[in-house]
Structure 1
Amino acid sequence: MLGRQFADVTADIERTPDGRRLCVSREIDAPADVLWDFLTDTERWPEWGPSVRAVDCDSRRIAAGTTGRVETVGGLWVPFEITSCRDRRWTWRVAKIPATGHRVEGDRPCRVVFEIPVLAGGYAPVCARALQDLARLAEA
């Protein structure tokens, strides 16, 4: 589905706590805590998030209720709010719209999963690229 460029990435429809989502995932040979740190550290988001250029947030580490804004590729700043963050899974709303969920499963190797609302399935290649960047950073 995601092409040869993303050969290590899988995409499946799953039922999540937020309903049916397109889940884009990859196994990464790194400790789960390392990946979780990348996913929850707002200062690191631009390193692995292809659509995030910068983050403006009072908290470096996210928790449920954390708010801020992200600068997108086009230079547009959009507000976000973390809606849940527990058990190595977090979700958010971007510009008040439910956006991707993020989770880490297992220990080492672990699986990182991005949960995309089904109607936003066109975002899957962006998530696949983020998984490649996370693997590169975590396995270095």
Structure 2
Amino acid sequence: MRGESNRTRTRVERTPDGRRLAVSRRISAPADAAWDVLVSVADWPDWGPSVSAVRGVDGRIEAGSRGEVRVAGVWVPFSIETCDDEARRWTWRVAGVRATGHRVNPIGLDRCEVAFEVPVLAGPYAAVCAVALRRIERLAARRPAGEPPSGDRDPE
């Protein structure tokens, strides 16, 4: 929407996984570019404040992908439960626990809303999501949709 500032919003909403906190931000980038940033594991350390590296998955995630993320120096297993390119939504489990959902909703050709779906009991994690959303906006605005991430990272 014209004139609307890009600010982070947090609200309770119903998702396919039940009631969640939706932490969202409208960004000035095409939905496909934002989606590429979310599903390309090479980008995760660039936007995820708690993720320093990823291993076990190359390129883009898909439903059933399994790997590990390094959080605070410790490798933690993850599995992608759902990943729907058409709906632009994916969910995962981290260390066997259902974690955040991720989604992108188009708003015209060159804008979209990116949202994290956070379990209600993990409300303080919304602050981490707000940082991630600002980083995703920066990354998506610099990369046309379909472009690969900037480079491979060594997980060690």
User: Contact 1:43–1:55 at 8 Å: present in 2 too?
Assistant: yes
Pairing partner for 2:126 from 124, 127, 135: 124
User: Contact 2:41–2:57 at 8 Å: present in 1 too?
Assistant: no
Equivalenced residues, count: 133
- What residue in structure 2 maps to residue 4 of structure 1? none
- What residue in structure 2 maps to residue 103 of structure 1? 103
Deviation of residue 122 (structure 1)?
Answer: 1.0
Larger of the two Rg values belongs to structure? 2
Deviation of residue 106 (structure 1)?
Answer: 1.2
Greater fraction of residues in strand = 1
Deviation of residue 60 (structure 1)?
Answer: 1.6
Residue 137 of structure 1 aligns to a residue whose secondary structure is helix
Q: Which segments of 5 or more consecutive residues in structure 1 lack a partner in the other structure?
A: 1-6
| CA distance in structure 2 between the aligned counterparts of 1:42 and 1:29, rounded to whole angstroms | 22
| CA distance in structure 1 between the aligned counterparts of 2:10 and 2:40, rounded to whole angstroms | 25
Say yes or no: does 1:137 pair with 2:139: yes
Deviation of residue 68 (structure 1)?
Answer: 0.1
Cα deviation code 1:80-128 (max 9, x no counterpart)? 0000011100000000000000000015310000000011111000000
The residue type paired with residue 74 of structure 2 is L
- What residue in structure 1 maps to residue 9 of structure 2? 10
- What residue in structure 1 maps to residue 58 of structure 2? 59
Identity %: 56
| CA distance in structure 1 between the aligned counterparts of 2:133 and 2:10, rounded to whole angstroms | 12
The residue type paired with residue 125 of structure 1 is A
- What residue in structure 1 maps to residue 147 of structure 2? none
Q: Which segments of 5 or more consecutive residues in structure 2 lack a partner in the other structure?
A: 1-5, 143-156
Deviation of residue 136 (structure 1)?
Answer: 1.6
The worse-fitting range, judged by mean Cα deviation, of 31-40 and 50-59 is: 50-59
TM-score computed with the length of structure 1 as normaliser: 0.92
User: Contact 1:59–1:66 at 8 Å: present in 2 too?
Assistant: no
Residue 41 of structure 2 aligns to a residue whose secondary structure is coil
Moved over 3 A (4+): none
User: Contact 1:42–1:57 at 8 Å: present in 2 too?
Assistant: no
TM-score computed with the length of structure 2 as normaliser: 0.82
- What residue in structure 1 maps to residue 150 of structure 2? none
| CA distance in structure 1 between the aligned counterparts of 2:137 and 2:37, rounded to whole angstroms | 11
Output the aligned Cα RMSD.
1.1
| CA distance in structure 2 between the aligned counterparts of 1:118 and 1:58, rounded to whole angstroms | 29
| CA distance in structure 1 between the aligned counterparts of 2:57 and 2:89, rounded to whole angstroms | 21
